[in-house]
Amino acid sequence: LITKKGMSEKNILSLWKSVDDDYFIRHNPDEIAWHTEGILKYKNKSGPLVTVMNNSSRGGSLIFVYMSDRKNIFAIITRAIEKLKLTILDAKIITNRKNFVLDTFVVLENNGMMIKNNERSIEVKNRILKELKFTSAEFDQDNWLVRRQLKSFNLPTHITFESDLKNNRTIMEVSAVDRPGLLSRIGMAMDACGTKLQNAKIATYGERAEDIFYLQNEESKMIDDPLKLECLKNSIVDALS
């Protein structure tokens, strides 16, 4: 499928060797082909790649971001999507062996429809690219989400941690009422506590979000400091209260 589009098998295999098996488990062949074509044909290797697939079998439009990993990426992207008044149904967060992120978000418009035309797709792409130009310091100073008025949610937020010794990382599960800006707020809390997002599985069931985040400390190791775990828990609860 991909080689028919003029890409060499050598370059394709080189790209695929940079990701773990989990990437191929979590993405279908059409998505893998879409990602691969976009990455291999992208000219500006030093900057972010953002592409939009209007229609997909996932029940929503897809947004794909490929770029070198750095602080605040998850929070910045999810905040940009929130500013676009799109709802995130699912997210697949992958970091490859070369420290590049391959993040895919399933989104719908506020009216429950997929992104309908190329003009809207271009708007989505440009907004995310604009937000990604923020430095970490500029992002920290831009409290757009904090200023936004949200109604009160009574159901509690539950956060649990589990050690993944095999992969030298910490698994954090967050169960909370779904709301505008949920993922951006969680992302900002993770950044504030000095943690690195390695992977994530995002899911929404009705009005409740059940999200799993795979985290490491700043030394790319499992988080075993009780104070840092307490920081994460308290910061997320405060951000979502």
List the chain domain ranges: 1-142, 156-241
String of DSSP letters for 40-67: HH-S-TTS-EEEEES--TTSSEEEEEEE
Tokens at residue 44, please?
């500006």
Residues near 34 by Cβ (< 8 Å), separated by ≥ 6? 51, 53, 62, 64
More confident residue, 86 or 90: 86
Rounded CA-CA distance 103/176 in Å is 22
Q: Which two tokens stand for residue 7?
A: 């890409």
Instruction: Evaluate whether 123 touches 50 at the Cβ level (below 8 Å).
Output: no
The closest of 173, 154, 151 to 162, measured between CA atoms, is 173
CATH number belonging to domain 156-241? 3.30.70.260
pLDDT score recorded for residue 139: 54
- The CATH code of domain 1-142 reads 3.30.70.260
Q: How do 100-109 and 204-205 pair as beta strands?
A: unpaired
- Domains 1-142 and 156-241 are alike in CATH topology: yes
- Calculate what percentage of the chain has a pLDDT beyond 90: 54
Task: Convert the pLDDT of each residue in 163-206 to its tens digit.
Answer: 999 999 999 999 998 887 889 889 989 988 999 888 888 888 87
* Alpha-carbon dihedral 133, 49, 73, 80, rounded to 10 degrees: 70
Band of the pLDDT at 211, cuts 50, 70, 90? very high
Mean pLDDT of the chain: 86
Reduced 3-state DSSP string for 156-224 = CCEEEEEEECCCCEEEEEEEEECCCCHHHHHHHHHHHCCCEEEEEEECEECCEEEEEEEEECCCCCCCC
pLDDT of residue 5: 64
Helix 29-41 to helix 9-16 angle (10° resolution) is 110
175 vs 137 pLDDT, higher one: 175
Q: What's the pLDDT at 207?
A: 83
Strand partners, 92: 104, 201
